[in-house]
Amino acid sequence: MVKYLALFCLFLSIPAEIVSPDWGFFAHRKINRFAVYTLPKPLFDFYKTHQAYLEKHAVDADKRRYASRWEAAFHYMDMDIYPDSIDLTDLASSRYMYSEIQISNSKGLLWKKHCGSKVEDVAIPDSVKSKLYRSLGRVVFETPATLAWESDNQAFEMLIVDSFSQHGLLPYRIISMHNKLVEAFTNMDEKAILRISADLGHYIGDANVPLHTTENYNGQLTGQLGIHAFWESRLPELFFQKKHYVNIRPATIIENVKEAIWQTIHRSHGFVDQVFHCQLTAKESVSAENVMCFSERNGQYVWQPCEEYADKYDQCMGTMVWDQWENAIQLLGSLWYTAWAMAGEPELNNVMRGILPDTSKMEDVVSDAQNGAADCERQR
Ligand SMILES: [Zn+2]
């Protein structure tokens, strides 16, 4: 049993006086660190050898947000903007549904599909349709994008304006990274295994934070600004070391990775109402002067939720944050384990040793973007 403070990914918009980035970094690093202990031999031996690397690079994905316009949308998924009846599990279909598509030839516009409308029988050749779907299925996708083709000596052009990616791509990114991890194990590419394993840990941490699954990610839509930091920073800092413990659960083989990732997203999103409701309940239960206080944090006095107020919030939330953290640790270990198994359980003893990659650069995103790029300008 291991005792630690917990915290998850921080958004860029969290007020600096409330949150230090180091706290978010701390939690992501510990998720990667603890996930190693979920693994069976011989995988445990390999990951334990590189535990320091995995811990250090658990936050590289967040660092890339400063350098890449494509990275931000990989860290969230605004589930509440979509009707429950819509199946989002296929990226190409989802992006297709929420894209505006225009087809034209030299004489002008021939056909147009608006965002939100379903069109199953587009009057374009099947080869172009399959090319369209392949493009839309890429996690990194350029928008607006154009596809050009010729048919019966006529030139056609398709313009695609994606309105889907801006509301988050987190689950698709996780699934994509897991596929890459299988490939890395298959190729026995140690650098890739470690780089992807570290990044995967970051995205799994984000997927277990309810506020990463809602458009109201910092309470900005309901007059609860700052709740993101309150939930993932102030509560852990004050209480987890005193009240909560991490139970390390063994990694298991995941039969259906895609399903497991979407279940995680839905589970996290299921906590959103409680996250907001408890904050209001807690605030009503304390006097006005006990809501925000100047108090010490990391050697500085900062304006942040008072301890009594935070305690009320923590009581209302129960063990939610801690449970989510434990889920992240176990799921990450299971994804590493499953990727290795899917690659045929390759021998790891002979894997090369060398200088390991710094994944805080744009390397991974840029390589994705070679086949298309996303317009994920939204920053949090
Ligand atoms: Zn993140």
The model's pLDDT over 152-172, given as tens digits with 9 standing for 90+, comes to: 888 889 999 999 999 999 999
Task: State the Cα–Cα distance between residues 205 and 23, nearest whole angstrom.
Answer: 13
- Whether this prediction's pTM lies above 0.85 is answered by no
* CA 131 – ligand 1 centroid, Å: 31
Task: Fold for 91-166, please state it.
Answer: Chitinase A; domain 3 (3.10.50)
> How far does residue 68's CA lie from ligand 1's centre (Å)?
13
Give me the pLDDT at residue 117, please. Answer: 59
- Chain-centroid distance, C-alpha 318: 24
Q: How far apart are CA 19 and CA 5, in angstroms?
A: 15
- Compute the distance from residue 62 Cα to the ligand 1 centre, in Å: 5
- The alpha carbon of 56 and the centre of ligand 1 are apart by a number of angstroms equal to 15
Question: What pLDDT sits at residue 131?
Answer: 86
Spatial separation of the C-alpha atoms in residues 198 and 191, rounded to whole Å: 11
Structure tokens at 293: 């206080």
Q: Domain residues of the chain, as ranges?
A: 21-78+168-369, 91-166
What does the alpha-carbon distance between residue 262 and residue 79 come to, in Å, rounded to a whole number? 11
State how far the Cα of 304 lies from the Cα of 46, in Å rounded to an integer.
42
Which value, to the nearest 10 degrees, does the dihedral of the CA atoms of residues 161, 162, 163, 168 take?
-160
pLDDT of residue 149: 87
Distance (angstroms) between ligand 1 centre and the Cα of 113 equals 33
Q: Ligand 1 centre from 142 Cα, in Å?
A: 21
Alpha helices in the chain (DSSP H): 21-35, 43-49, 51-56, 60-64, 91-97, 126-136, 170-186, 190-207, 227-229, 235, 241-243, 257-270, 272-284, 307-317, 320-342, 363-369
Going from the Cα of 370 to the center of ligand 1, the distance in angstroms, rounded, reads: 23
pLDDT at 380 exceeding the cut of 60: no
- Burial string for 115-133 (b: 16+ CB within 10 Å, else e) reads eeeeeeebebeeebeeebe
pLDDT at 367: 46
| Percentage above 70 pLDDT, the chain | 81
**Ligand 1 centre and the CA of 331: distance in Å?**
16
- Is 60 exceeded by the pLDDT of residue 41? yes
Taking CA atoms, 237 is separated from 125, 299, 380, in Å, by 58, 13, 22
How remote is the CA of residue 13 from the centroid of ligand 1, in Å? 13
Least confident span in 57-61, 131-135, 312-316, 360-364: 360-364
Q: How confident is the model at residue 365 (pLDDT cuts 50, 70, 90)?
A: very low
Query: What's the one-letter identity of residue 294?
Result: F
Q: What residue type is assigned to position 337 of the chain? A: Y
Within its chain, how far is the Cα of 117 from the centroid?
27
- State yes or no: pLDDT of 11 exceeds 50: no
214 vs 354 pLDDT, higher one: 214
pLDDT at 205: 92
Dist. CA 114–CA 111, nearest whole Å: 10
CATH fold of 21-78+168-369 reads P1 Nuclease (1.10.575)
When pLDDT is averaged across residues 175-180 and rounded to a whole number, the result is: 98
Cα of 325 from ligand 1 centre, angstroms:
14
CA distance 178 to 203: 11
- Tell me the CA–centroid distance for residue 128 and ligand 1, in Å: 35
Distance 305 CA to ligand 1 centre (A): 23
pLDDT of residue 127: 80
Q: Residue 232 Cα, ligand 1 centroid: separation in angstroms?
A: 12
Distance 246 CA to ligand 1 centre (A): 21
Tell me the residue type at 229.
Answer: A
Query: CB count, 10 Å around CB of 329?
Result: 30
